[in-house]
DNA sequence: AACTTTGTCAACCGCCTACGT
DNA sequence: TACGTAGGCGGTTGACAAAGT
């Protein structure tokens, strides 16, 4: 009773892992890989449940894990992403190579505790909302409410209006080189794949990574949204077109001041269609 | 030095979803 | 369709260490 459903067997060990157990798990995984975690304990000679093995591997033993303090860049990333997507730790972790959801969650929770304990002392931010639950500044741009679908359409159509979903991916923001089209290619390609297979998992976070000249944004966004709204998965050709339009637009700009987290789904939660710009990084608004 | 409080973080719990039967 | 299982996820716990008294 009280034991996890996967761990019903009598002699299942729990608690901290010993170095011997770690060694067994590492040896097994590096030799045979992991297809089915529930088989791993028996095959690796461990008195653990598969879930425990999985967790130990993912959070501690896998070779590409990154340990130690978060860098300032990582901290910024966490704060901004949390402002956009909330407690979706796995999602946030996917943007920080080598970091685990657990680690980020722990970091965030202890950071929150510190902030609560020391309210507003050494707080350099200007937005008073941030101390409540550390959202990034919420700035509404009503003229960018471009979704025109009804809630019914929302459930019927597999594809939300796309806007541009610029997911910064596994690299840090600094790695984005706007003079280099390769990065843009990658992002748009990722966008295409997501729209075909996985859109609903990612729709909450959309990034606009260009200068916030709103009239230009509006000009740019509207046609593309209309074009792709409810028409099914975006093709590679559409992505190429998006890229070309975007490149033209980028070239027309004189400066780049950051990227922006764009949460189009937010308004849909309450049944009201709206979009909001949630955060900017690294520039301030 | 002894004890208490606070902080950190690995690991667990229970819920959820996907998938197979 | 209903059910069972595996794995992914976020919330939470608790062991241990560090800091404070």
For residue range A110-126, list pLDDT tens digits in order: 887 776 655 543 333 32
- Nearest residue for B13, CA–C1': A4
Strand C positions closer than 7 A to protein CB: 5-12, 15-16
CA nearest to A217, candidates A179, A167, A259, A279:
A259
CA closest to C1' of C13 belongs to A15
Question: Is the predicted pLDDT of residue A26 greater than 50, yes or no?
Answer: yes
Does residue A91 approach strand C to less than 7 Å at its CB?
A: yes
pLDDT tens digits for range A135-186: 222 222 222 222 222 222 232 222 222 233 333 333 323 333 333 334 333 3
**Residue-wise pLDDT tens digits, A180-207:** 334 333 333 333 333 333 333 333 333 3
Q: Give residue A122's pLDDT.
A: 37
Q: Going by DSSP bridges, is the β-strand pair A139-140/A206-208 parallel, antiparallel, or unpaired?
A: unpaired
The whole-model pTM stands at 0.53
- Residue A225 contacts residue A162 (beta carbons within 8 Å): yes
Closest to A136 in 3D by CA, of A190, A88, A77, A95: A77
A223 pLDDT higher than 90: no
* Residue A58 in this model has a pLDDT that exceeds 90: yes
């Amino acid at each position: 009773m009280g034991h996890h459903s996967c761990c019903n067997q009598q002699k299942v060990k729990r608690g901290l892992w010993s170095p011997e157990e770690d060694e067994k798990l590492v040896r097994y995984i590096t030799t045979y890989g992991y297809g089915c975690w529930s088989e791993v304990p028996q095959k690796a000679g461990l008195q653990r449940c598969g879930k425990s093995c999985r967790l130990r591997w993912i959070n501690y033993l896998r070779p590409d894990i990154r340990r130690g303090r978060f860098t300032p860049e990582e901290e910024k990333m966490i704060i901004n992403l949390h402002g956009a997507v909330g407690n979706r730790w796995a999602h946030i972790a996917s943007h920080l190579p080598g970091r685990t959801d657990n680690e980020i969650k722990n970091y965030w929770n202890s950071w929150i505790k510190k902030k609560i304990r020391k309210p507003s002392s050494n707080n350099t931010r200007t937005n008073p909302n941030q101390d409540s639950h550390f959202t990034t500044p919420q700035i509404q741009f009503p003229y960018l409410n471009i979704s025109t679908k009804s809630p019914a359409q929302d459930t019927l159509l597999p594809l939300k209006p796309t806007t541009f979903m610029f997911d910064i991916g596994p690299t840090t923001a600094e790695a984005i080189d706007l003079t280099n089209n390769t990065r843009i290619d990658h992002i748009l390609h990722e966008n295409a794949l997501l729209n075909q297979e996985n859109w609903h998992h990612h729709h909450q976070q959309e990034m606009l990574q260009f200068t916030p000249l709103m009239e230009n944004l509006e000009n740019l966004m509207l046609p593309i949204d209309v074009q792709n709204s409810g028409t099914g998965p975006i093709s590679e050709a559409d992505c190429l077109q998006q890229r070309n339009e975007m490149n033209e637009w980028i070239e027309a700009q004189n400066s780049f001041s950051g990227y922006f987290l764009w949460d189009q789904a937010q308004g849909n939660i309450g049944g009201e269609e709206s979009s909001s710009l949630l955060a900017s990084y690294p520039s301030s608004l």
